[in-house]
Amino acid sequence: MRPSSSSSDSPVPAGSGLFDAVSRRGPVPGLVSDVAYLQAMLDTEAALARAQARAGLFPADHADAIAEACHAGRFDIAEIGRAAAAAGNPVVPLVGLLRAAVGGAAGGYVHAGATSQDILDTAIMLVARSALTAIVAEVDAAGDAAARLAADHRHSVMAGRTLLQQALPTTFGAKAAGWLSGLDDAAALLGSVRHRCPSVQLGGGAGTLASLHPHGPEIVAFLAEELGLAAPALPWHTNRSRIGELAGALGVAAGALAKPARDVTLLAQTEVAEAREGTPGRGGSSTMPHKRNPVAAIATLANTTQAPGLVATVLAAAGGHEHERAAGAWHAEWHPLRELLVSVGAAAAWLADCLTHLEVDPDRMRANLDLTGGARQAVEEQRRVGPSLAGVDVAKLDPAEYLGATDEFIAAALRRHSDRSESER
């Protein structure tokens, strides 16, 4: 059994809040909505029942009856949310409602041997997995756009700029290949986390699986099969390595997404004017309609800027788990992990949009390079440091002849992205 795709059957709440246009873009908000979490918890309860039936703890039709009831649409999220205050988490009231919904003998087998954290941690893994899939797809979409820019502008000569000063010539293709390299690193890292980290959590009241003894480990294995997650060697309720690794990878992705966005804001400066966002109908100003603001790049940065603090919170919480269940540190993870998925997902969606519609001006790039003469002077100064200018009359050197290995770098980045397109996605 695979978890039902909650986002397709439920109203997607993304984009309807006052600030959601910036912070809730793309598919991720729908995948981490309350409905999605609730459905993931219910999927876990249903899979747990099936796993226990497979292990012979009770008849399969009890499991079927439980699974039958496990649809988010049957439950009132607000009611669960309010009732959660008594226990400190939403699983306790959900189990009560689910038992009542199932009724009869089968109802007595709902949540058997599990504790709240088992259900919620497993649900978090299901939610994170589906969000990661979507985030990787968005990062790849941004990568596709960067790859197109790298291929199209292989020969678009421009000033390389270090410390915001014109330095030596490069090409816009090389710059885009650098973006692509970071995006592919991020996609590969997120993909690796997506494949390795999501695991079921099942330990019972104190992490011993005592009430399911001697069937505990077998049920863990079945549960993992049912949900398509990994089966951990041990319960990981107080070992948050998986969560921390996920958060760290999202933090790395935020940096890779920020890089092209920052460059776009700089290239789009009035005085530079080498690129601008071209998405129709976007970028106007309330006071100055003539401006074309790089809204997508800005929104990307607005989201990526929030990631490091959220990563820090998740990592800090990981160090605070006491004994067999944390007194606060576990609860402290829920919100920042969700926000981290949303922020990075939104950043990726914005950047894909930004790069897909980016309008590049190679003539202006060349003009800026020539205008300053900086690059020529830089080339002159390079004469003594390397072999490539031996016997060259630098005064007559075209910057377009001083591009070093940019072509090979572009080719390497495109090759890697193409390989990724074929195999890793």
Active site residues: 285, 325
- Binder of a copy of itself out of 315, 370, 394, 424 (CB under 8 A): 315
* Start-end of H helices in 60-156: 60-69, 77-87, 91-102, 104-107, 116-152
Q: Is 68 helix (H, G, I), strand (E, B) or coil?
A: helix
How far is Cα of residue 376 from the mean position of the Cα atoms in its chain? 42
User: Is there binding between residue 240 and a copy of itself (CB under 8 A)?
Assistant: yes
327 closest CA partner among 121, 95, 92, 89 = 89
Beta-carbon contacts of residue 53 (< 8 Å; ≥ 6 apart)? 59, 60, 62, 63
Q: How far apart are CA 223 and CA 217, in angstroms?
A: 10
Per-residue CA distances from 242 to 32, 116, 318 (Å): 18, 19, 10
Mark the segment that binds a copy of itself (CB under 8 A) among 42-50, 60-68, 130-138, 260-268: 260-268
Q: Specify the stretch interacting with a copy of itself by CB under 8 A; choose among 43-51, 61-69, 140-148, 377-385.
A: 377-385
In this structure, what are the phi and psi dihedrals at residue 108, rounded to the nearest 5 degrees? Answer: -70, -15
Cβ closest to a copy of itself, residue 65 vs residue 139: 139
Contact flag: residue 10 with a copy of itself (CB under 8 A): no
Considering the complex, state which of residue 83 and residue 101 has its C-beta at the smaller distance from a copy of itself: 83
Q: Does 394 bind a copy of itself (CB under 8 A)?
A: no
Which tokens is 392 given? Answer: 């060259």
Segment near a copy of itself (CB under 8 A), from 59-67, 99-107, 125-133, 298-306?
298-306
Q: Which of 404, 385, 402 is nearest to 393 (CA)?
A: 402
Nearest alpha carbon to residue 200 among 403, 3, 35, 371? 3
Enumerate residues 6+ apart whose C-beta is below 8 A from 329. Answer: 317, 318, 319, 320, 321, 322
- Asked whether position 173 contacts a copy of itself by CB under 8 A, the answer is no
Among 4, 10, 133, 382, binds a copy of itself (CB under 8 A): 382
Among 44, 122, 300, 356, binds a copy of itself (CB under 8 A): 300
Nearer to a copy of itself, 179 or 226 (CB): 179
Task: Give the 3-state secondary structure of residue 360.
Answer: strand
Place of tokens 């899979």: 47
The distance of closest approach from Cβ of residue 106 to a copy of itself in the complex, given in angstroms and rounded to an integer, is 14
Residue in 27, 30, 198, 216 binding a copy of itself, rule: CB under 8 A: 216
Q: Is 73 in the site for a copy of itself (CB under 8 A)?
A: no
Smallest Cα–Cα separation from 112: which of 190, 221, 210? 210
Can residue 266 be called a binding residue for a copy of itself (CB under 8 A)?
yes
| Window of 22-30, 63-71, 126-134, 139-147 that interacts with a copy of itself by CB under 8 A | 22-30
Comparison of 141 and 283: residue with beta carbon closer to a copy of itself: 283
* Region 354-373 residues binding a copy of itself, contact defined as CB under 8 A: 368, 371-372
Out of 28, 127, 142, 168, the only residue in the binding site for a copy of itself (CB under 8 A) is: 168
**Footprint (CB under 8 A) of a copy of itself, residues 120-139:** none
Q: What is residue 169's three-state secondary structure?
A: strand
- Pairwise CA distance, residues 178 & 263, whole Å: 11
User: Which two tokens mark 424?
Assistant: 């890793």
3 near a copy of itself (CB under 8 A): no
Which residue among 8, 104, 287, 363 contacts a copy of itself (CB under 8 A)?
Answer: 287
- Give the one residue of 8, 104, 384, 422 binding a copy of itself; rule: CB under 8 A: 384
Judged by CB under 8 A, which stretch of 97-105, 111-119, 124-132, 139-147 contacts a copy of itself? 111-119
* Using rule CB under 8 A, residue 341 touches a copy of itself: no
400 is a contact residue toward a copy of itself (CB under 8 A)? no
Indicate the residue among 182 and 191 with the shorter CB distance to a copy of itself: 182
Nearest to 406 by CA among 93, 148, 169: 169
Residue 261 within binding range of a copy of itself, rule CB under 8 A = yes
SS3 229: coil
SS3 for 358? strand
The verdict on 90 binding a copy of itself (CB under 8 A) reads: yes
